[in-house]
Amino acid sequence: MGKLERMSRTLVKHGAIIDIYDDEMKLPNGDIEHWDFVHHRMGAAAVVPVLPSGEILLVRQYRPALGRYTWELPAGCRDHVDEPTETAAKRELTEETGYSSDEFFRLLSLKTTVAFADELVDVYLAKNIKKIGKQDLDPAEDIELKKWDLDTLLDMIYAGEIQDGKTVSGILAYFGTLHR
C-alpha cells in the first residue's frame, strides 16, 4: 500500500478572497482521483463580544450559501494578508456592532473545513464591550444585533439552531474559560 499523494494542483477559479483548485490525487491503492481544494488567501477573525452584563452580542445576517439568515459572532476577513487578525477583529466588532473593548484576548485559532479548504479564523474574546458609535456597514451588509445570555446560546448550539463553525467554536471556548 502506498500513501496519499498530490500529483498536481491546477487553478480552476481565481476569486476575490478564495481560489479554487483541482488537485489530482494518487490514492494509497494507486488509483487517481480529482479533489477540490479551496485556498482562502486572506484569513479572518471573529469576536465573542461580552457586555458588562455577561450577555453576548451576536449579529444576524443573510447568508446566500445557506439561503437564510444566521446568528453569528461579528467577523470578517483581514484587509490584507499581513494585517494582524487582532486588528481585523477589533475593526469588525466596531463596524458590525458599533461597540469596542479594551479587553481583547485570543481564544483560539481554527481551520474551518479541513477536508477541502485552508481558511484560518482567529477567534477573540472582547470583554466589557461598550457602545462607541453606530454600525459602519459595508454596502452588502444588512446586520441586526441582539444580546443573548450564554445558557440560551449553548441551548441553541446543541439544538442545531446555531451551526456556524466560528460562532459555535467561539461560544464554547468562551464557556470553557468560565469553567477552568
| pLDDT above 80 (res 84) | yes
Mean pLDDT of 87-108: 95
Mean pLDDT of 68-87: 95
**Residue ranges of domains in the chain, CATH in brackets:** 5-40 (no CATH), 44-178 (3.90.79.10)
Q: What is the pLDDT of residue 137?
A: 72
What is the rounded end-to-end Cα distance, in angstroms, of the chain?
Answer: 45
Q: Give the tens place of pLDDT for each residue, 121-178.
A: 999 999 999 999 887 777 777 889 999 999 999 999 999 999 999 999 999 999 999 9
Mean pLDDT of 81-88: 95
Q: Give the tens place of pLDDT for each residue, 32-57.
A: 999 999 999 999 999 999 999 999 99
Q: What is the pLDDT of residue 94?
A: 95
Q: What is the pLDDT of residue 169?
A: 98
Q: What is the pLDDT of residue 77?
A: 94
